[in-house]
Amino acid sequence: MHLSLGFSPCPNDTFIFDALVNNKIDTKEFTFDTHLEDVETLNNWALQGKLAVTKLSFAVYLKVKDQYELLNSGSALGRGCGPLLIAKKDIPREEIKNLTIAIPGENTTANLLFSIAFPEATNKKVMLFSEIENAVLNGDVDAGVIIHENRFTYQLKGLVKLMDMGEYWEQTTGNPIPLGGIFIRKDVPEASRAQLDSLIHQSLQNSYTSYPQLSEYVKSHAQEMDESVMRQHIDLYVNDFSLDLGNEGKAAVAALMEAAEKIRS
């Protein structure tokens, strides 16, 4: 079975899928047409049902649940790994609703978590996640919601943290933070969905066998990121929930869906 497969070029995703797409494990009946794209691009593609298997922000789940099913393996979900709201200087929380805020995509979980914390802050500017730090530094926006490796670099650029969105979520709900998951179209036969879920699990296990050594596949897609930052990225976003969501992970996703429904209503 030949399937289109989409995930981001970030180290956590390439680490998870390396063995699967590079034939380091037996992929059984499956071959893949692989697309590495920013997660907001993948979110928008999913609204069109473009890819058979894809990484998505959990925030877009409600919009695609009739067409896609969440797999147990491959998710980015955990504690202490949420998006951060940053600025050039400290800003009182009560003033944030009046600011222009850069967000890494309308359908991202980062935007959803920001909206949960600051429902009155509606003046948002969508941009690529890697451009947000510079937009804040240049004064194009007052503050920005950052994700991925920018969590490890913003302080080096003299920026300050206004709030940790993940910390706010954890404190108010008690749940780990559901960021993104791997989804498969429901027109793929159920037995094949289960088999692919198992293969993603195996692929991640394979990557762990040589970690902290990083494969050329992970490094080649990490742009100019330092290897220490790649490992920080993997350590933060890849964990036991990535191997299997389990009951705790599924409960966290359900809680986020409930919060998203309240914002939409």
Active site residues: 148
Residues in the chain: 265
Indicate the pairing of strand 84-87 with strand 143-146: antiparallel
C-alpha dihedral (218, 77, 189, 44), degrees to nearest 10 = -80
Q: Summarize the annotated binding site for substrate as residue ranges.
A: 55-57, 109-110
Are 120 and 95 in contact, with CB atoms under 8 Å apart?
no
> In angstroms, rounded to a whole number, what is the distance separating the alpha carbons of residues 207 and 227?
16
CA distance linking residue 251 with residue 107, whole number of Å: 21
Q: In terms of Cα–Cα distance, which of 246, 255, 257 is closest to 59?
A: 257
DSSP-assigned letter for residue 49: T
Peptide bond into 189 cis (omega under 30): no
Looking at residue 74, the DSSP 8-state letter turns out to be S
Distance CA(47)–CA(50), nearest Å, equals 8
Q: List binding-site positions.
A: 55-57, 109-110
